[in-house]
């Protein structure tokens, strides 16, 4: 089973150097509770609702997938937005909701990304990853909505709902920020 030293990816290794060049210790409250421990690296999956990605986004996502792939199994699944080609926003969101629910299995620890979710620091994301591994879930699944956001069923299925910023982000931007935080 893969073992991931989250400590090296969640703040300590990025601390500014002191005058002798040695890394300054992070303040205690900025550490993940898993700092210095080896934590089971759960397989991760990111579900994103959207159309075909821009080339730039896809390149960045591939870069992060490659980096993360050294530590854990990471899957990136694009769910087609507006599968019913409807002009009714409610019908669109419901159809996307259903398509995403079909992807979710009982063994998934589901993290919904939402601009109204809980504010989290990078260290708290590291904690979330570690905690999810202790719940009996066998996979961590992150859900990013389409242009009109996520539907009710996915929101209700969430084990955690987090936000990456107090600003509303385009779903491709949200995906890139998430990938960067997972790598961090
Ligand atoms: C364009 S936003 C949806 C906007 C909004 N929910 C709506 O109904 O108009 C697309 C998706 O990106 C993700 N997202 C956008 N801003 C976010 C933020 N600040 N934090 C976390 N996720 C965000 C969410 O998953 C959201 O469903």
Write out pLDDT tens, residues 50-65.
998 999 999 999 999 9
The whole-number pLDDT of residue 13 equals 30
Q: Which atom of ligand 1 is nearest to the CA of 168?
A: 16
Q: Which two tokens stand for residue 37?
A: 């421990």
Query: Residue 126 falls within a domain, yes or no?
Result: yes
User: Ligand 1 center to residue 113 CA distance, Å?
Assistant: 7
- Beta carbon of 145 within 6 Å of any ligand 1 atom: yes
Lowest mean pLDDT across 23-32, 53-62, 70-79, 141-150: 23-32
Query: Residue 8 falls within a domain, yes or no?
Result: no
pLDDT at 147 > cutoff 80 = yes
The whole-number pLDDT of residue 182 equals 92
Query: Residue 130 falls within a domain, yes or no?
Result: yes
- Of 24 and 86, the structure prediction assigns the larger pLDDT to 86
User: Number of structural domains, the chain?
Assistant: 1
- Of 71 and 82, the structure prediction assigns the larger pLDDT to 82
Lowest mean pLDDT across 3-12, 87-96, 100-109, 152-161: 3-12
Indicate which CATH number applies to the domain containing 168. 3.40.1280.10
Cα(178)–Cα(60) distance, integer angstroms: 12
Q: Which atom of ligand 1 is nearest to the CA of 167?
A: 19
Query: Residue 72 falls within a domain, yes or no?
Result: yes
- Beta carbon of 114 within 6 Å of any ligand 1 atom: yes
pLDDT, one tens digit per residue, over 78-105 is: 999 999 999 999 999 999 999 999 999 9
pLDDT at 169 > cutoff 80 = yes
Residues near 146 by beta carbon (within 8 Å), at least 6 away in sequence:
49, 50, 81, 82, 92, 93, 96, 171
User: Ligand 1 center to residue 109 CA distance, Å?
Assistant: 20
């Amino acid at each position: 089973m893969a073992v991931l030293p989250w400590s090296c990816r969640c703040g300590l290794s990025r601390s500014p150097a002191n005058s002798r060049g040695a890394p300054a210790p992070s303040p205690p409250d900025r550490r993940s509770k898993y700092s210095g421990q080896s934590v089971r690296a759960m397989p991760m999956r990111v579900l994103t609702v959207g159309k075909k990605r821009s080339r730039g986004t896809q390149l960045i996502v591939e870069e992060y997938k490659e980096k993360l792939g050294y530590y854990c199994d990471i899957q990136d699944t694009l769910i087609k937005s507006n599968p019913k080609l409807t002009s009714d926003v409610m019908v669109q969101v419901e159809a996307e909701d259903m398509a995403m629910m079909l992807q979710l299995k009982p063994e998934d620890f589901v993290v919904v990304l939402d601009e109204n979710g809980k504010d989290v620091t990078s260290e708290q994301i590291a904690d979330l990853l570690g905690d999810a591994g202790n719940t009996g879930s066998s996979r961590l699944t992150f859900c990013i909505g389409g242009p009109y956001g996520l539907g009710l069923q996915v929101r209700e299925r969430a084990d955690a709902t987090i936000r990456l910023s107090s600003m509303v982000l385009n779903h491709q931007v949200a995906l890139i920020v998430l990938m960067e935080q997972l790598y961090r």
